[in-house]
Structure 1
């Protein structure tokens, strides 16, 4: 199955200093026969036409912008013995108020031909009136080159002619081997659904208009931008007005992905690590690629029951050492990520287990919990009492209170020696206090009758 791709080819020239530069965006629509294939609940050509028309509508009224439309694969039907590799045409030339004309032409397009990507790119270079504007090509296609020309060769020819083509590729549902075909042309990203495609298309258009990109580096303790997969909140500086929410991502080149942000604002950034990290007063430079860096070196804590013969649910309360506030509650078997440093754990066993863990860069600090045993009791009538550990120095530590309503109960207790002190509720004399000692073993049941 052929896949869905978007290529945004940026034909750069130096901006004019001290004035707003005219931007021209040429949309190239693939109307080859394969675009009649389904994508989600409709055909690819219908989805592409709808999203392209929506994008053109949103560009109406934008100052210093002209748009145009080229289509290929829409004039000649492809057959088993014939494909028209010259089937590419500038349908609507550049103009400042031609948005309705472009949308009308989009509605009438029918997909039926082949996929001459290279020839369309080569012809597109002549669609721009001059090289004084900032010229952008956004190509929407569902497949690779189907004719005899190589888009990589065409890109080189354009560059040799002084036209610097720098594409941006968005692949929908493509594997990396497919995307590699576009490496010679430029950068690429992928999208899986029509909804994500719409976001990526908007991102490409915003990049063309704003021309200010941002790369957010989440650094390890060695200063390398290798931390990722965390939510970023960017607020208007000094306020709680949220402007952007990103899930930090590494792109196909294993470097932080590029996003588009408005350079007119200053920002405060919150990185939602455990614990969170903040960077305030971020200023962006217009018309350039900005890098925001923040140190968020992280490692892992994993709690586990080593010798359990069945599933146990034993939560652990995680706190920064020196700060009693609960940072996270982590279940046994889970592995959660934390900023490197020391953490205090209160493991919610009976009795409680307390320890300190040192989290180091990219490593897993494993916390082993001894499997509990089960303590059960039955009484002839309701009792009141308490359970204590028997410590090695002859002292006792409270563990839990017996429920004084039912005549039976049970608790999961850590292995060790215990004493239960109780009396029957109906007995109104202290001298009837009784005590029993017992031992708990992992994965075993100890029962007492009162």
Structure 2
């Protein structure tokens, strides 16, 4: 019998661990707008029909162990600011009970947003329950309340909830109080102008629950001082593994990032002329991070030099992922390149010069919105003059030049028999080179010579071969 006791204890521990792993998520409470304005039409359907269908889809996509409650306002009486009712208790696990209640609901009354939020939050306080509240409304407060004040006060009292609001067909000028409420309630305001937008908003809202880790890094996207709706994806800097993501909805989006370095990929969901951008960010332990992503252009003033003097070169401006987003030929003068804000590598290649250092990458150039950054690179070269003669006669010959240590071919040409090309000028990076000269014409057939020559920065080394 004594042997069985440890076995039962072990089994009990296993069952307890299993039960903890299968613990149901905190409940979601929908507050549904059944005010008279829901009879208004969008795309040939009433907002009431659209909301009912979209909410049914969102509810049916929830996990089977998700408890779901429902509150509605305006569904019984016209002009009554107290027409607010709990229709389905938070302990409910039946999806059909929610969808049936919504589909059979009338739309009659006013829009008591503050009173509805207060009733919902007080129910959580009285039952000592934490929950995600999702308010769907097509109108603004019509009963002299302030939902932002209600939510802010509740948070100071320590009531544990997250509030999302999906604004259905609202004007931008009508959303200030709603955004204030979601900011205070640790959630997001989602703007929906049609069925698709409502679906996206509810999908996002039901996935960002009170059980998620609290966001510790915020993102705001803008262009010309105005908010931009954008999708944000966060990946680990070293592995590119996706960690988190959010949508800004022309507001502030939040993600949770453990301490470390990340790439933030931001793609606008409006104004197709705006290109996405990738920005390096870092999350620091016990600190709230923030990044404002401005799609206002920033400028790079690029200057390429050779031996401290202006020099012609080509350039490519690349994102951290290697995408070329800009470039220019410098012609030895400062060239201005405009790109989205972000961190870039600039690859420059000096023209007319030869050697192992004719290309250079200027790394991690940070471009900020509305600002200009000065960037330059100074190449180093010297000159080798290679000529071929027979007596006083110029000899046409092929010249091949290798960098001596690496053995890499870096330059080649012909001298011909003109004073303008014989001796032939080679602009080379400083170093020691192996030069092979081979005569071209029959009267000098078989004539060749190999030698080394040292090229120093800013100096000219001349070598004349005599056949």
* TM-score calculated relative to the size of structure 1: 0.51
Alpha-carbon offset, residue 199 of structure 1: 2.4
Map of 2:67 onto structure 1: 66
Alpha-carbon offset, residue 257 of structure 1: 1.8
Distance 1:245 1:165, change over 3 A: closer
Map of 1:113 onto structure 2: 109
List gaps (5 residues or longer) in structure 1.
Answer: 1-17, 220-227, 304-315, 349-353, 368-393, 397-450
Q: Is the 8 A contact 1:29 1:139 kept in 2?
A: yes
Map of 1:335 onto structure 2: 338
Map of 1:100 onto structure 2: 96
Map of 2:254 onto structure 1: 258
- d(CA) in 2 for partners of 1:95, 1:215: 30
Moved more, 94-103 or 334-343: 334-343
| Aligned pairs (5 A) from 1:254-333 | 257-259=253-255, 269=263, 271=265, 291=289, 299-301=298-300, 318-319=315-316, 327-329=324-326
Distance 1:207 1:179, change over 3 A: same
Q: 2:131 aligns with which of 132, 135, 139?
A: 135
Alpha-carbon offset, residue 168 of structure 1: 3.5
Map of 1:46 onto structure 2: 49
| Aligned pairs (5 A) from 1:148-163 | 148-152=144-148, 154-155=150-151, 163=159
- d(CA) in 2 for partners of 1:185, 1:275: 30
Equivalent residue of 1:328, what SS? strand
CA deviation digits over 1:347-379, x for unaligned, max 9?
99xxxxx99998764424699xxxxxxxxxxxx
- d(CA) in 2 for partners of 1:121, 1:216: 27
Map of 2:201 onto structure 1: 200
Moved more, 197-206 or 146-155: 146-155
Larger radius of gyration: 2
- d(CA) in 1 for partners of 2:240, 2:343: 28
Map of 1:56 onto structure 2: 59
Equivalent residue of 2:175, what SS? helix
Distance 1:143 1:24, change over 3 A: same
Alpha-carbon offset, residue 237 of structure 1: 9.0
Map of 2:189 onto structure 1: 189
| Aligned pairs (5 A) from 1:413-432 | none
Alpha-carbon offset, residue 339 of structure 1: 4.6
Map of 2:408 onto structure 1: none
In terms of fraction of residues, the more helix-rich structure is 2
Alpha-carbon offset, residue 128 of structure 1: 4.5
Alpha-carbon offset, residue 103 of structure 1: 1.3
Equivalent residue of 2:102, what SS? helix
Moved more, 167-176 or 29-38: 167-176
Equivalent residue of 2:103, what SS? helix
Alpha-carbon offset, residue 245 of structure 1: 6.2
- d(CA) in 2 for partners of 1:73, 1:230: 34
Q: RMSD between aligned alpha carbons?
A: 5.5
Alpha-carbon offset, residue 327 of structure 1: 3.0
- d(CA) in 2 for partners of 1:195, 1:102: 21
CA deviation digits over 1:224-275, x for unaligned, max 9?
xxxx99875545898676576667x5954xxx521478x9xx9964648999
Q: Is the 8 A contact 2:132 2:210 kept in 1?
A: no
Distance 1:111 1:259, change over 3 A: farther
Q: Is the 8 A contact 1:317 1:327 kept in 2?
A: no
Alpha-carbon offset, residue 29 of structure 1: 0.6
- d(CA) in 2 for partners of 1:229, 1:125: 29
Q: Is the 8 A contact 1:300 1:335 kept in 2?
A: yes
Q: 2:31 aligns with which of 24, 28, 32?
A: 28
| Higher-RCO chain (CA-CA 8 Å, sequence separation at least 6) | 1
List gaps (5 residues or longer) in structure 2.
Answer: 1-19, 221-227, 267-274, 303-312, 329-334, 352-358, 376-418, 422-467
